[in-house]
Structures are given as C-alpha cells and as structure tokens.
Chains A and B, each alone.
Chain A
Amino acid sequence: MIERGISKRIESIKFALLSPDEVRRMSATKIITADTYDDDGFPIDMGLMDSHLGVIEPGLRCKTCGGRVDDCPGHFGHIDLAMPVIHVGYVKEIKKLLQATCKSCGRLLLTKKQLDEYEKERETIEEMGGGYLEIRLVTKETAKDASKRQICPHCATEQSKITLDKPTTFREDGHKLTPKEVRERLERIPDEDLTPLGIAPGVARPDWMILTALLVPPVTVRPSITLESGDRSEDDLTHKLVDVLRINQRLRENRDAGAPQLIVEDLWELLQYHITTYFDNQTSGIPPARHRSGRPLKTLVQRLKGKEGRFRSNLSGKRVNFSARTVISPDPLLSMNEVGVPLEAARELTVPIRVQDYNIDYVREWVRKGPLPKGDIYEPGVNYVIRSDGRRIRITDKNAETVAETIENGYTVERQLMDGDIVLFNRQPSLHRMSMMAHEVRVMPHKTFRLNLSVCPPYNADFDGDEMNLHALQSEEARAEAKILMKVQEHILSPRFGGPVIGAIHDHITGAFLLTYKDSKFTKDETINLLSTLRTAKMPKPKIKKKKTEYWTGKQLFSIALPKDLTISFRASICQACDKCKKDNCENDAYVKIRKGEVICGTIDEKAIGAFKGKILDKIARDYGPDRARVFLDDVTKLSIGAIMVRGFTTGIDDEDIPEEEKRQISEVLKNAANRVKKLVVAYKEGLLDQIPGRSLEETLEVEAMKVLGKARNTAGEIAGKHLGLENSAVIMAKSGARGSMLNLSQMAGSIGQQAVRGERLSRGYWNRTLPHFEVGDLGADAKGFVKSSYKSGLRPTEYFFHSMGGREGLVDTAVRTSRSGYMQRRLINALEDLKVKEDRTVRNTADTIIQFTFGEDGIDPSRGVQGEAVDIDDTLLEVLGEDEFLLLAGEKEIAGYGKQEKDMMNVEMEEEAFAPEEGED
C-alpha cells in the first residue's frame, strides 16, 4: 500500500553554481568524439551515446551502474572546452559583477563604511523576518551603488566603462573582452565581497559562470528514436551537442597548430554561439539554430518554458484515469442533478468498492456476473478485483466464477458505474466553480452525455458539437465532499451576483408563458398529460366548468410546482412599465402575485423562472433550500415542455411579415430621416448648425445625424412592432425573455439601422468617402453606413458592405476580449489559488500570514447575499409585518421583492449576445 498522509515542509532552497571540478567529478565519462554510433549500431566509446551515460534500449546494461532500462537513472558526462565560454543564463549577473568590482584588484567598489551599512541593513531585514525578495532589493542597490564609483577605494585604479553587447559580448570602453579575460577578472573577486552582492561564497564562485567544462546530460534525457525504416533519429539536444563537439575539436586543433589569431577567434565565437543556443535557442540577437528541415531546435530552455514546457504541461498539468469525454446532448426528462452516461462509457469507468461484512454478498454477486452482465436492463459488472496484497486481477467471463469465490473482507472490487453514482462533470474553459459540478449517473443507450437544459448556463454549453468531461470519483471522502459541496443543486445561487445561475432557458420559458398567460385553460386529457410527467402531482379540482366540460387553468397547474406557503409579488418580463402600475388588474397580465403557493394573477416568464433573473427560483432556493429548488425546477421544466407541446410552437421568417401599409409607412419614415440628415449637412456646410458645447462642428453634425437616424430606426421598429402582437411566436419569445429581443425583430421586419465602428458612423475606406459608389465628401445617411433595408427584405450591395464592417468589429472585439481575459484569469488564479479561510475566519496563505482579517472584510458569502446586499430588508419586513402593514410602511414605494435592483449584470451580456453571430461548431 502507498503510504499516505506524510507531508513535509520545504524549509529552504539553496541555489548554487556547478564548478568545473564538480562537473568533472560527477561525469561518468569524458566525451571527445562527435560520432554517436558505429557501423554495427553500437554506441562509440567517449561519444555522445556512450553506454556509460545510461541505457535506453531494453536488454542492455549500463556500464556505470549495471542497471537495466528501468533501474538506471542515467549518468552525466562532460566535454572539456578548448577555450572558456560564457553561460548565457548568467550574462546579467556577470555584467553586474564586472561593473561593481575593480578591474585590477577585484575588490567591490565600496568603502568599508558603506559595506558595514549595507551589512547592517541586511541583518535588520533578516530580524524582521524578511525573505529572499527583500534581501535581493538590498543586494541590487549595493551593486548599483558600487558601479557608480569611478575610482577603486582600495587600489585607486580608475575604472573603465563595461558594456554588454547582447547576447554574450562584453566590451570595456568599446574594446572587446574575451571570455578568458572576463573569467580572470571574476576570479580576482574575493569571497568576502560576494555576500554583499547576494552570492553565497561557499557554494558559488563568480568565475564558474564562465564555462570551461560542459555537462552532457544522460542519454535518458535525450533518447534517440528508431524509425520504421531502421534509421536512427537523434534528439535535438544530441544534435546541438554534436555541433559543440565539432567546433570544440576544430578550435583545439587550430589553437594547438598555432593558427592565426583571427581564425581562432572566429572559431571561439562559433563555439560560443553553439553553447548559447544549446542552452536557449530563443536568445534575442542571434539567429536560432535550425534542424535540417528548417525547424528551430528545441533546446534546454525551450523544454522548460511556456505552456508546453515541463512546468505548465507536465508538472502543474496532470492527466487522469477514470475519466470520459464525449459530445453532449439535451434531455429535459433528466433531473438537473443527473447526467446521462453512455453505456459504453459506464462499462469502462469504475468505482472501487472495499469488501466488508455488510456488502460481501452482493459484491460477490457483481463479480460473478463478470465484466459484461447479460440481460436487457443495465447492471454494473466488475472489471478488476484487487486482492488484499495489492495484486490486480482482471475479470473476464472465464474467471469470474472462480474469482468471485475467493472474494473476502479487505479486497477491493472495481465496479462499473451504475445509476446513482456521484461523478464530476466539467466543460472547458473552467472559468468558475460552476464549470465543474457533481451529478448523479443515469446509464443510458447511445453515445452522448445527456444533461438537463437548465445546467447549460453555468457550463456555458450548447449542443452544436460541445464535448464535456466526466470523472468517476475514487474514494468515499471524495464522494461525500462532492455530494455535499458540488452537487448541481448547491450551485443554483451564484457567488458572482447573489442570484440564480441555473434556471429555465429558451423553450422552458416559452412553455411556462404559454402555460400561464392570461386565462389559458386545459382539458382533462391535456391536464393528465401534463401532470403525468410529475412524480408527486395529484390531480387538482377543475377551476372552470363550461357546458359540462371541465377545464384546468394554466396558473392552477403551475401552482402545483410551488411550495404551499410561497408568497411573492413582482412584475413579469412582459411588463410594459406603465407610469402607474395597475397591479392585479394589469391588462397585460404582467403583475405576478403568488399567495400561499397559488398564482393569483400574472404570467410566469423569464423574470419568474429564468436563469440569472428568476425571482421565484431565487426565493425558493434561498428560503426552502436547494432540494426544494431542484424539485421546483425539474417540475417546472416538465410542465413547460408539456404545455409547449399541447399548443405547438414554431417560428419562421413569416413571423416578421407586415402588411403593405406598414411597409409604406416605414419607408416613409426612413426617407424623411435621410432628408433630415441631408438638411443637417446643408446647414453644416453653410455654417448654420448650432454647435453643441464641448464639440467641434463636425462632431455636432455626427451627433445630430446619429440622433435622427437612431430615432428613425426606433420608429420603424415601433411601426413594425405595433403589427406584431403576442399571438406571434417570435414576439412571444422576445417578450417573455426566452430568446431574442424586440430589437432583433424590428431589424428583421423594419430596418437594420446605422452601422458603427468605434461608436461612430462609418467613415474610412477611400479618400473622404466610404465606397466609390458615393461622391467625395458625401455626409448623408446612405454614404455613411445607414442600412435602410431589413434582414427580411435583403440588403443592397453597399449596405451589405457596411453591415460587414460593423459585424467585423464585433468579431475582433470578442477575439481580443477572450484572449486578454484568459490571461488575466490565469494571473488572478495563480495569485489566489492557495488562500483559504481558517478556523478564526481570517483569510491566510500557505505561509500562514494574514491576507484579510475576515473574508471580504465583511464575512459575507456573496452567494448567500442578495444581489450584493447582505440581507434583503424589504423581504424580511414583508414576512414579519404581513403584506398590508408593509404596504402602509413603505407608502407609495413599490414592493420590489427579491433583488430590488434591476442593474442585473447579465442584462449587459445578454444584449451583446443579441448582436453577436452564433458561435459555429466548437
């Protein structure tokens, strides 16, 4: 068994430099030849693939440790460099050191007094509990201070200016310094001058920043791969090391043969290039080393850095077992707590069950049935049995019987998923906690995950090809935690704005509207049909009897889903916002009044049950708890779907049909508006336009023109809207808040209106005009992007072009926004990931220092608050005083009910969405 629960704290980390001596000491072999394998395919001794460096082929043994592939960790080798070379990773350090120390005596360019001062400063920081970061500030200042001094206080030598020619060339007064000279200087710095500069003397010497021996990583770090053709393909690092070895060899030969200084220097620089790119192939200032195919080589730094690097990809990112991923599709008959899992996935995903006295009988029965139990109804099988000694036995049809007999206490049985199991369900991008919630499994035929539509908003999912992930939980603790904290019903109220994120959408809202609008009624057949899907409903008494036929009102049926003592009143989405609210007598049936769980009047629509806005939903979730809210929402979903199917619901482009008379009126309005703009332009040209304070004359014209044209679009919409009543499907959707807006409809039926880029009428394109179809300097409506046509009538070519210009801005905006907010989110999460609220209510980090004294400085859980307020006083008063008293107290003030502010954040997002084109496939 794996030992659990052992955790150790890292007290400190020490960073040191590798000395050339140490490199040679840890090296298993010296490497001198650039060749890797001989003709027979065996590694060449003292070559880059020397078998002292470890084994990568199965069957062979390591010449250093004698281990096989799995035992041998690999061993380092080394290359002795003919001439010293600068390590790119340390150029900044080297520059700092050269500037801060004397060119002749090597001492730090500070007086004894200054040194003492800095030392004292460092000591006080240490006393105050300051860490590395604080000390680094002081050491940085020390170096800065020292490099300012022109004359050495110790030997009085005048200092010359050191500059760095990126990436690796140092110059002294424009004069090149070879790595050898740099190394000699660094060697002269005494140990006691290193501490003030932030270097620990015992473990690091500055001269080690100049390489004289290069460490060669084990072959296990850079394994070669054999292609099907039998050819070997070497790792990028090996290629780079071959280059280093070749040039190193040539440099040594030329130097020993006494070649001209120029040639030696050229080779030296080439060696520097190869070693630089061996460390980092993206060093600015030098071209990246390339593979024969032209692809840049992936060297050491590239292996670690960035999203695909070792840290983010392999260390903080983990791949997991017991997970599944497939396309999602909707199923309104599932509870929102459930998820439909395809049979094939359920057979593959398992849950470990510990065998105990209480379960041994039925667990044995599971095992006996093997991995694929027969029968029409799904039954979980068993894929593996783990014995008490940790051995895994794969269950097949053949051994199922025999293994079942051996089952005893202490065994673990890996049972396949079955109905009621708790799993985690997730859709990327996981931007908030509602992106990963716990569901109960329902095993189903077919190959998609099925989910209830009311969980689409929190996951931001639709069914145009979206895929989602599912994780089967593997421990009892995890399951308990998921059940209590992560169940979908626990997330109905969002911590983002203190309202429901989960609620009815689209057809569910339309359905509820059709069910409850005005005096809708249903026959006995229809009523039975509607109620049969509800698990608990009893048939109520019919409200209406007409000529012996019995009718049930829609409001009556909806009330079945409500808690029996619910009291709430609010205005529905279809509310016209009249000056004086007629309340109960509203002719639009827009004032919802619920008393004792009965809908007295009003229409149930987005404001009542919708995601983000549903007030009934909000109140039930808050006052009756998540269980009741789930039941409510599931019932409402079924009722709505039933109701929409009784009536039938469809929309098409002919929903936007308007009679000839209205069409004529609209074109009249638009023509008048264009004329008004023309007049404005004339007035502007003659200088008769009244300037708006704080605006130029041109701006005034633009503002006035925008105003006129905006108004024209609105009147066009109004004319069209007058004709489109609530018997129209598209209007039902828009008014009830199910989908679309009246603006969308008026753009389809009336006129699309002014197109804008950066909030201004279109102006760019050609010289002083938008398109060659217009005269230069034309400032009229048509020439600057006003689209008279409607989507239904079709756009003229120029209008189409303008519309595309306006549309593109939206696309660019969304693209920029997502990438920017993604990065922001990453930074934020990295900063906050391990903060937690401790037992004394303080927020602390892992170092146990306090971040906040109480969570949010008020200790309020935003998901328990009401739209950002801690408590809803009005609601409490209403409950305590009763309705009449409260009305008296509030006087003329409206009863706002839950969430009094209409500044709902979602409003903004929804409107933007109305203009954005639908996302394509994933």
Chain B
Amino acid sequence: MPFNVMEHQLVPEHRILSEKEAKTILTKLKISKEQLPKIRISDPCIKILDEAMGPVKEGMIVEITRTSETAGRSKAYRLIIRR
C-alpha cells in the first residue's frame, strides 16, 4: 500500500464487525443484510482493514464512525460486496 488512507483526517474510522455484533446490529435495525448500504471489497479502506485485521470477505459488515459538528459521533454500517 503506497499510502494509508486511514491516516488521512477526512477518512472516518472503519471497523469490521464480528459475526455476533453484525447479528445484533441487524436485529436492532430489523433489516436483512441486503438492505444495508454497500461498500466494495476493493475500497481502499477495506483493503487496509484486510491487511491489518486478517482476511475480509464479502458479506461482512463494516461500522463507520463519523464525527460531525451537529451530531457528535454518528455510526453507519455497510455491507461488503465483491469487486
């Protein structure tokens, strides 16, 4: 990786959810996986997570924590898809 995008100040925090966490999030939101927003497995952030945290596979869920002036911290979830 020539440049670690995660270190950039504008890139929010990404975290892969464990299977258990993923399940609780989905039940909390009362949705199926497919209803989540998507992120590609080729996304620079996901590539870095893959390198650092071990293999990332399609169907996993990332938690993205953004900081905002008005909301403080807001969490979003994305389903990892191919390519």
The complex places the Cα of A726 from the Cα of B59 at a distance, in Å, of 71
The complex places the Cα of A872 from the Cα of B60 at a distance, in Å, of 41
Contacts of B36 in A (CB 8 A): 849-850
Contacts of B69 in A (CB 8 A): 869
The complex places the Cα of A860 from the Cα of B69 at a distance, in Å, of 12
> Please, which residue of chain B has its CB at the minimum distance from the CB of A842?
B29
Asked if residues A859 and B71 are in contact (CB atoms below 8 Å), the reply is yes
> Please, which residue of chain B has its CB at the minimum distance from the CB of A127?
B59
The complex places the Cα of A844 from the Cα of B74 at a distance, in Å, of 17
Point out the residue from A850, A851, A860, A869 that lies within 8 Å of B29, measured CB to CB: A850
> Scoring A residues 842 to 854 as 1 if CB is less than 8 Å from chain B, else 0, what string do you get?
1010001111111
Contacts of A11 in B (CB 8 A): none
> Scoring A residues 98 to 135 as 1 if CB is less than 8 Å from chain B, else 0, what string do you get?
00000000000000000000000000110011100000
CB of B9 closer than 8 Å to a CB of A: no
Within 8 A of A (CB), among B5-55: 29-31, 33-37
CB of A857 closer than 8 Å to a CB of B: yes
Output the least CB separation between A141 and chain B (Å). 10
The complex places the Cα of A648 from the Cα of B63 at a distance, in Å, of 66
Output the least CB separation between B50 and chain A (Å). 18
Q: How large is the interface on B (under 10, 10 to 19, 20 to 34, 35 or more residues)?
A: 20 to 34
Asked if residues B77 and A853 are in contact (CB atoms below 8 Å), the reply is yes
The complex places the Cα of A865 from the Cα of B69 at a distance, in Å, of 13
Asked if residues B34 and A854 are in contact (CB atoms below 8 Å), the reply is no
Instruction: Take A128-B59, A842-B29, A850-B29 as given contacts and tell me if A857 and B34 are in contact as well, using a CB distance cutoff of 8 Å.
Output: no
Contacts of A129 in B (CB 8 A): 33-34
Contacts of B82 in A (CB 8 A): 124-125, 128
The complex places the Cα of A125 from the Cα of B35 at a distance, in Å, of 15
Instruction: Take A128-B58, A840-B30, A869-B70 as given contacts and tell me if A849 and B37 are in contact as well, using a CB distance cutoff of 8 Å.
Output: yes
The complex places the Cα of A130 from the Cα of B33 at a distance, in Å, of 12
CB of A256 closer than 8 Å to a CB of B: no
Contacts of A854 in B (CB 8 A): 71, 74
> Please, which residue of chain B has its CB at the minimum distance from the CB of A853?
B76
Most buried by B among A124, A848, A849: A849
Asked if residues B35 and A858 are in contact (CB atoms below 8 Å), the reply is no
Asked if residues B66 and A857 are in contact (CB atoms below 8 Å), the reply is yes
CB of A870 closer than 8 Å to a CB of B: yes
Most buried by B among A125, A850, A869: A850
Output the least CB separation between B73 and chain A (Å). 10
Most buried by A among B35, B36, B69: B35
Contacts of A857 in B (CB 8 A): 66, 68, 71, 74, 76
Asked if residues B35 and A850 are in contact (CB atoms below 8 Å), the reply is yes
The complex places the Cα of A310 from the Cα of B59 at a distance, in Å, of 41
Q: How large is the interface on A (under 10, 10 to 19, 20 to 34, 35 or more residues)?
A: 20 to 34
The complex places the Cα of A777 from the Cα of B58 at a distance, in Å, of 68
Instruction: Take A128-B58, A840-B30, A842-B29 as given contacts and tell me if A849 and B35 are in contact as well, using a CB distance cutoff of 8 Å.
Output: yes
Instruction: Take A840-B30, A858-B70, A858-B71 as given contacts and tell me if A851 and B37 are in contact as well, using a CB distance cutoff of 8 Å.
Output: yes
The complex places the Cα of A137 from the Cα of B42 at a distance, in Å, of 15
Asked if residues B70 and A853 are in contact (CB atoms below 8 Å), the reply is no
CB of B56 closer than 8 Å to a CB of A: no
The complex places the Cα of A3 from the Cα of B4 at a distance, in Å, of 60
The complex places the Cα of A849 from the Cα of B66 at a distance, in Å, of 21
Contacts of B77 in A (CB 8 A): 853
> Scoring A residues 259 to 279 as 1 if CB is less than 8 Å from chain B, else 0, what string do you get?
000000000000000000000
Point out the residue from B34, B37, B74 that lies within 8 Å of A858, measured CB to CB: B74
Output the least CB separation between A548 and chain B (Å). 60
The complex places the Cα of A858 from the Cα of B29 at a distance, in Å, of 17
Contacts of B66 in A (CB 8 A): 857
Output the least CB separation between A861 and chain B (Å). 11
Contacts of B74 in A (CB 8 A): 853-854, 857-858
Asked if residues A858 and B68 are in contact (CB atoms below 8 Å), the reply is yes
Contacts of B58 in A (CB 8 A): 124, 128
Contacts of B70 in A (CB 8 A): 858, 860, 865, 869-870
Contacts of A852 in B (CB 8 A): 76
Output the least CB separation between B83 and chain A (Å). 8
Output the least CB separation between B24 and chain A (Å). 15
The complex places the Cα of A842 from the Cα of B34 at a distance, in Å, of 15
Contacts of A848 in B (CB 8 A): 35
Contacts of A850 in B (CB 8 A): 29, 31, 35-37
The complex places the Cα of A129 from the Cα of B31 at a distance, in Å, of 14
Contacts of A858 in B (CB 8 A): 68, 70-71, 74
The complex places the Cα of A854 from the Cα of B74 at a distance, in Å, of 9
Output the least CB separation between B26 and chain A (Å). 11
Output the least CB separation between A869 and chain B (Å). 7
Within 8 A of B (CB), among A199-257: none
Output the least CB separation between B25 and chain A (Å). 10
Instruction: Take A858-B71, A870-B70 as given contacts and tell me if A849 and B76 are in contact as well, using a CB distance cutoff of 8 Å.
Output: no
Contacts of A124 in B (CB 8 A): 58, 82
The complex places the Cα of A844 from the Cα of B31 at a distance, in Å, of 12
Within 8 A of B (CB), among A742-800: none
The complex places the Cα of A128 from the Cα of B30 at a distance, in Å, of 18
Contacts of A870 in B (CB 8 A): 70
Contacts of A130 in B (CB 8 A): 81
Output the least CB separation between A356 and chain B (Å). 42
Output the least CB separation between B17 and chain A (Å). 14
Output the least CB separation between B52 and chain A (Å). 25
> Scoring A residues 130 to 153 as 1 if CB is less than 8 Å from chain B, else 0, what string do you get?
100000010000000000000000
Contacts of A840 in B (CB 8 A): 29-30
The complex places the Cα of A857 from the Cα of B77 at a distance, in Å, of 12
Contacts of A865 in B (CB 8 A): 70
Output the least CB separation between A838 and chain B (Å). 11
> Please, which residue of chain A has its CB at the minimum distance from the CB of B36?
A850
The complex places the Cα of A854 from the Cα of B76 at a distance, in Å, of 9
Contacts of B68 in A (CB 8 A): 857-858
> Please, which residue of chain A has its CB at the minimum distance from the CB of B77?
A853
Most buried by A among B58, B59, B71: B71
The complex places the Cα of A870 from the Cα of B72 at a distance, in Å, of 11
Output the least CB separation between A574 and chain B (Å). 33
Contacts of A851 in B (CB 8 A): 37
> Please, which residue of chain B has its CB at the minimum distance from the CB of A125?
B82
Most buried by B among A840, A858, A859: A858
Asked if residues A853 and B75 are in contact (CB atoms below 8 Å), the reply is yes
The complex places the Cα of A869 from the Cα of B68 at a distance, in Å, of 11
The complex places the Cα of A853 from the Cα of B26 at a distance, in Å, of 12
Output the least CB separation between A841 and chain B (Å). 11
The complex places the Cα of A544 from the Cα of B39 at a distance, in Å, of 73
Most buried by B among A137, A869, A870: A870
The complex places the Cα of A133 from the Cα of B75 at a distance, in Å, of 28
The complex places the Cα of A476 from the Cα of B30 at a distance, in Å, of 35
The complex places the Cα of A850 from the Cα of B74 at a distance, in Å, of 15
Most buried by A among B69, B70, B74, B81: B70
Q: Which A-B residue pairs are the 10 nearest by beta carbons?
A: A858-B71, A129-B34, A858-B70, A857-B74, A849-B35, A870-B70, A853-B76, A860-B70, A850-B35, A858-B68
- Taking A850-B35, A858-B70, A859-B71 as known contacts, 18 extra A-B pairs with beta carbons closer than 8 A to each other, sorted by chain A number, are A137-B83, A844-B35, A848-B35, A849-B34, A849-B36, A850-B37, A851-B37, A853-B74, A853-B75, A853-B76, A854-B71, A854-B74, A857-B66, A857-B76, A858-B74, A865-B70, A869-B69, A869-B70
Q: What are 13 A-B interface contacts by the 8 Å CB criterion?
A: A124-B58, A128-B82, A130-B81, A137-B83, A840-B29, A849-B35, A849-B37, A854-B74, A857-B66, A857-B76, A858-B71, A869-B70, A870-B70
